[in-house]
């Protein structure tokens, strides 16, 4: 009995296999491509959601790169310890400076150009769109994901690390915040979304929250799409969208509205 020939689609042969195909396959290090390096105790948490949809497709196509560095490999002693008790007493554990120092220097050794080093921390500067735009213009960045009670302060001081926060709350680690930061940054890289206009019209790009969006059907549960959006008059559509953005921003985010008004010419 002869084996049946494998079916093929184009140049890819499809053969039965008991080994599941990798969703994100390794890619070679690419020159002049934005790259995120992640120092973490949980490297298998990546790419996570970053490997899905448009960011995952862009990762496979080499529009951006991702590298994880396992902090545990720099641990001390037989058990690869990475933390110790807080000086002065207190609950929890603190990541050791000698462990972090070696991990950071190893990770940053082959970086060059504009390459910020960021620690995800609830006491850091809150993430916003302007911050992501700045990070997207860098050559890459290294993200340090903390755990336990945080990291030794001397590490932050010695390496001039930026502290960045996802919000005014505490999480068990920085991995989820790191993924949020990377997602918000990578989508600004040309070619990732496919339609650059998408990033120019969305919330915060103009200093305002985004206007309401609608699509077909024209009527749903007795609710209709606003007539102006069906008029075909691009000028009136743009005017309506701007007015709605101002109205929504003013009512939902007074802080953003205040910054928007202050940034307009002639305002103090």
pLDDT of residue 6: 46
pLDDT category, 57, cuts 50, 70, 90? very high
Cα 159 to Cα 117: distance, rounded to the nearest angstrom:
8
| Helix-then-strand count for the chain, H and E | 8, 11
Q: What was the pLDDT predicted at 203?
A: 60
List residues bridging with 118 in a β-sheet. Answer: 143, 162
Q: What is the pLDDT of residue 148?
A: 87
Domains of the chain: 30-186 (3.40.1280.10), 202-263 (1.10.1270.20)
Radius of gyration of the chain (CA): 24
User: Which of left, alpha, beta for 7 (phi over 0: left; psi -120 to 50: alpha)?
Assistant: beta
* 171-212: pLDDT as tens digits: 999 999 999 999 999 999 999 998 665 656 556 768 899 999
Q: What is the pLDDT of residue 22?
A: 46
Picking from 81, 103, 83, 82, the residue whose alpha carbon sits closest to that of residue 94 is 83
pLDDT at 197: 53
pLDDT per position as a tens digit, 86-142: 999 999 999 999 999 999 999 999 999 999 999 999 999 999 999 999 999 999 999
Q: Which candidate, 241, 130, 246, places its Cα nearest to that of 188? A: 130
Q: What is the pLDDT of residue 267?
A: 65
- With a cut of 70, say whether residue 19 has pLDDT above it: no
Alpha helices in the chain (DSSP H): 53-60, 97-108, 129-136, 153-159, 175-186, 197-201, 234-252, 254-263
pLDDT at 24: 47
- State the Cα–Cα distance between residues 94 and 100, nearest whole angstrom: 11
The pLDDT, as a whole number, for residue 29 is 80
User: What gap in Å lies between CA 42 and CA 69, rounded to an integer?
Assistant: 9
Calpha distance 2→188 (Å, rounded): 53
Average pLDDT on 213-239 reads 96
Q: In the predicted model, what is the mean pLDDT of the chain?
A: 89
Q: Which range is least confidently modeled, 26-35, 122-131, 207-216, 219-228?
A: 26-35
């Amino acid at each position: 009995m002869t084996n049946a020939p494998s079916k093929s689609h184009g140049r890819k042969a499809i053969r039965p296999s008991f080994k599941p195909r990798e969703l994100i396959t390794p890619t070679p290090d690419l020159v002049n491509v934005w790259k995120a390096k992640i120092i973490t105790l949980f490297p298998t948490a990546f790419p996570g959601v970053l490997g899905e949809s448009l960011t995952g497709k862009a990762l496979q196509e080499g529009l951006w790169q991702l590298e994880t560095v396992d902090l545990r490999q720099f641990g001390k002693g037989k058990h690869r310890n990475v933390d110790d008790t807080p000086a002065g007493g207190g609950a929890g554990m603190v990541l050791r400076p000698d462990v972090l120092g070696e991990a950071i220097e190893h990770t940053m050794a082959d970086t060059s150009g504009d390459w910020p080093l960021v620690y995800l921390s609830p006491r850091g500067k809150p993430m916003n769109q302007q911050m992501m735009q700045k990070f997207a213009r860098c050559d890459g960045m290294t993200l340090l994901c903390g755990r336990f009670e945080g990291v030794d302060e001397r590490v932050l001081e010695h390496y001039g690390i930026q502290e960045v926060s996802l919000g005014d709350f505490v999480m068990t680690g920085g991995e989820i915040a790191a993924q949020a930061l990377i997602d918000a940054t990578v989508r600004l890289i040309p070619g990732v979304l496919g339609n650059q206009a998408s990033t120019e019209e969305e919330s915060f790009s103009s200093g305002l929250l985004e206007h309401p969006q609608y699509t077909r059907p024209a009527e749903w549960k007795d609710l209709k799409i606003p007539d102006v959006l069906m008029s075909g008059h691009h000028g009136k559509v743009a005017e309506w969208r701007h007015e709605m953005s101002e109205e929504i921003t003013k009512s939902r985010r007074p802080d953003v509205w205040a910054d928007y008004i202050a940034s307009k010419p002639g305002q103090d």
